[in-house]
Amino acid sequence: MRQIRLIVTAGLPGSGKSIIAEGLARAIGAPVLSVDPIEAAMWRSDIPKYMTGIAAYEVAAAVAEENLKLGLTVIVDAVNPVEAARATWVDYRSVKRAS
């Protein structure tokens, strides 16, 4: 039986997260959810920049959850610069272990 995983990258902008996420995605056939394009789409929808930070992470988490329910491993590409962003993934892991 194949293990389903949530793989989350974290690091400074320009540190290579996207390159690693994309290479891993090609190698294992998993989708990549990148927070940057999610946030950019929110800006294009006239949501003010000060409101999109953690909201973009929550959108990525919701999409990740739906893919995991389908039995897919998911790779998240995100800076995770503040505790609230990192907590999105830690909280997600805790909830899923309890279920």
- The pLDDT value given to residue 98: 40
- The pLDDT value given to residue 56: 93
CA gap 44, 69 in Å, rounded: 29
**Domains, in order of start, for the chain:** 6-98 (3.40.50.300)
- The pLDDT value given to residue 53: 85
- The pLDDT value given to residue 95: 47
Long-range contact set of residues 13-22: C-beta below 8 Å, sequence gap at least 24: 13/79, 17/77, 17/78, 17/79, 18/77, 21/75, 21/76, 21/77, 22/77
Kind plus residue range of the DSSP H or E element containing 74: strand 74-77
The DSSP symbol for 14 reads T
- The pLDDT value given to residue 96: 56
pLDDT, averaged per 10 consecutive residues of the chain (99 residues), comes to: 84 92 96 95 95 91 91 92 81 53
- The pLDDT value given to residue 30: 96
